[in-house]
Amino acid sequence: MCPRALEVDPICTARMLPKMLLLRKRATKNFHPSACKRCGIVYTMFKTVLMFPMLLRFLYRATTEVSWRLLFKAGWLWCSKSFFALRAFKKRCKQGIQFPPFLFFSLTNRCNLRCRGCWVETAVKTADGRRQTAAEGEGTFELSSESIENVIKIAKKQSVYFYTMLGGEPFLAPETLWNTIKNHPEAYFQIITNGHFFDEATVRQIKRFGNISPLVSIDGFEKENDVRRGQGTFTKAVEGCKELQRQKILYGVATTVTAENFESVLTEEYVNHFVKLGAMYLWFYVYRPVSADPVPEWSIKPDMMLELRRRLLRLRRKMPIILIDTYWDEKGFAVCPASKGMAFVIGPKGSIEPCPPLNVTKEWIGDNDGNFYETMNNSEFLLRFREFIGEKYNGERSQGCVIIDHPQELAEFFRSERVIDVSGRNFLDELTQREPLASHYLPGKEIPEDYWIYRILKKMLFFGMGAYG
């Protein structure tokens, strides 16, 4: 049996399955797992792996393509600590305490790209009324290292050890980014990036710290990606992925599914493209028309959303890569992490925002003399926002995205709360003018996870570690 064949060729895997099962039969012919508890556990794991070729291929990839040191750190700092963070979160919920198990830091609104449909205001107006990408100076904002330090110091007391770093482009705030990661080796950081800054020295720095997993945004093959993200961005991002692969970094790819790229990104060809580039996970998002350039025609239609769900389940059984969504739980019910209080966003101005696309606030991280715990726990705005979402879905377990399902009512709610718009645009007017579309809320058409691995991951770890859904 050739491990390399198992890595990339599903046909070879199918051919080798009878030999794999024969190997399992011979290896366990005279074995009695009840004789030793530890051996019984090993026996069960061995039998499970051989019965699921996809799992075998993924484990082979992970142990040969990623540094073992980085795998160990991710297993402990990301997965294990996230499990304990969720347990502490559930305990807080029972006590009526409002504090999330995960946090986002939007380090800066600076970006070297101007992607269509991006809600981060990265452009500034020139004297003649034109818009240009923000680089330095007027119109740009950046969180300070000191403010982040204060938040993380308080958050760790609540068992929060997983942080997602957003932008703009996080690598355009290098001093803040590296200082934060360096000061917290016991935490884990996911960096959502366009992948244009992965030169050899930067990737070596990522490997040296070891508590980082980059998530590279690529929205389809070259044609579809470059329509949204700009000419040449696909090639540049793939070059970054190759450098991450060369240095054996644990990384993933984030793909936003639109009506334009739907048929190409939800295919084995697309997923296998990133398997060959060394990505260990592929994160699917659904496009949401929230920006100064919303492109509503890219939104997913209801029948497409259901098909997206079906295709995702099929791909999970075949492909040796972890396929992530944060839209449905293990039973197929729609999930809104913000409505559950799972994760909130610290904006580049220090604002506390309910969700990455919702750039509104009523609290700041400097409130209460910098006591972030008190500010979060006593935030009536965030509590009423969560209640508002529950009301829109009649208190059902299944809750979609109010930005898509109820944009005009959401705008009225924000106006009644007298929120501060920190988007850099007129965000409430944008919501008011937006027509309701279809989100991942599929009442009566729920499709539960049919692969046991994903059922366990979603039930125990909230698959996505608090990322937006």
**Reported confidence tier of residue 442, pLDDT bands at 50, 70, 90:** confident
Q: Give the pLDDT of residue 307.
A: 96
Q: Give the pLDDT of residue 464.
A: 46
**Tens of pLDDT, residues 11-29:** 444 454 455 445 445 544 5
**Reported confidence tier of residue 428, pLDDT bands at 50, 70, 90:** very high
**Triad 335, 339, 344: Cα angle to 5°:** 110
Predicted model pTM = 0.86
Which CATH code is given to the segment(s) 66-124+132-469?
3.20.20.70
Q: Give the pLDDT of residue 45.
A: 55
Which is higher by pLDDT, 347 or 455?
A: 347
Q: Where are the domains of the chain?
A: 3-51, 66-124+132-469
Q: Give the pLDDT of residue 382.
A: 96
Tell me which of 73-82, 175-184, 268-277, 452-461 is least confident: 452-461
Please check the confidence at residue 118 and state whether its pLDDT lies above 80: yes
Mean pLDDT of the chain: 86
**Residues whose CB falls within 8 Å of the CB of residue 45, separated by 6 or more in sequence, listed in order:** none
